[in-house]
Amino acid sequence: MKSDDSAGNRNTPPNRLTSILTKLAHGSAPFLSTFILIHLSAPALATIGSSSLSSNVMLLGREYYQTVFGERYLLLTPLAIHVSSSMTKRLIAPSSKPPRKLTSTLSITAYSALLVFVPIHFITHRLAPADASPPIFAVGPSELDYEFVKTGLARFPWRSWALYTGLVASVLVHAVEGINVIGATWLGAPRISSRARKFIAGAAAFPVLLGVWTLSREPLMGLSSVAERYGASFTRSWVYRV
């Protein structure tokens, strides 16, 4: 009996920690979902309002995720919590309840977004344009609208399409898979079938990618000097130099 109690006591701390990590991972998800909804609404709306509407929506969205408070506490902190808690949970998972397989759709999309598509997107669309050296000269927020996206699509079509498609697909599929898990865990909602999840993710991605296609069909409207700064910004990333 004593040995059974000891085993139970040994298992309790990891189980409690796993429960806490699960709550952190799930609790941070709505903040990230809000950001995704706002961020992807802009290109999706290009279909009905061209790049002008996309740029206006993006500027409004920046009031949520690109202010000092918003970016730090509504985006980066939830992202850090979501990633660190999920990875820690994987590392400490007890043998009686092993972590989700790395080959699962939820895991594949998480790591492809985290390690490939999100870093490239962030470097290309946020860090590189801020380079103050010539010939970029720090493309400011007022200049960084959807003409920047159109320039990338025009000058680097296959790379831009591959990266935008990969980013949208990995993020939205992961979001749908995550919603399925969170809904079943906390709301007692029935699990959605794999086929239905794929359909939902595809239905969400379609208007976004259709908007990107609409943007790719528009003529470039910016000044040639600004377009050159855009082009130089893209080539700061190795992806656009290969």
Q: pLDDT tens string for the chain (242 positions)?
A: 444 444 444 444 568 899 999 999 999 999 999 999 999 999 999 999 999 999 999 999 998 888 989 999 999 999 999 999 999 999 998 888 888 999 999 999 999 999 999 999 999 999 999 999 999 999 988 899 999 999 999 999 999 999 999 999 999 999 999 999 999 999 999 999 999 999 999 999 999 999 999 999 999 998 999 999 999 999 999 999 88
H or E element in which residue 6 lies = helix 2-44
- Predicted confidence at residue 142, as pLDDT, reads 85
- Predicted confidence at residue 97, as pLDDT, reads 84
What are the residue ranges of helices labelled H in 66-193?
68-69, 77-92, 105-112, 118-122, 146-155, 157-186
Angle at CA of residue 19, ends 13 and 24, nearest 5°: 125
Domain boundary assignment for the chain: 16-240
pTM above 0.85, yes or no: yes
- Predicted confidence at residue 2, as pLDDT, reads 41
- Predicted confidence at residue 10, as pLDDT, reads 44
Contacts of 161 (CB under 8 A, 6+ apart): 153, 212, 216
- Predicted confidence at residue 13, as pLDDT, reads 57
- Predicted confidence at residue 9, as pLDDT, reads 43
Contacts of 168 (CB under 8 A, 6+ apart): 40, 205, 208, 209
- Predicted confidence at residue 242, as pLDDT, reads 81
CA atoms of 4 and 134, how far apart (whole Å)? 69
Structure tokens at 157: 């079509």
CA atoms of 98 and 100, how far apart (whole Å)? 7
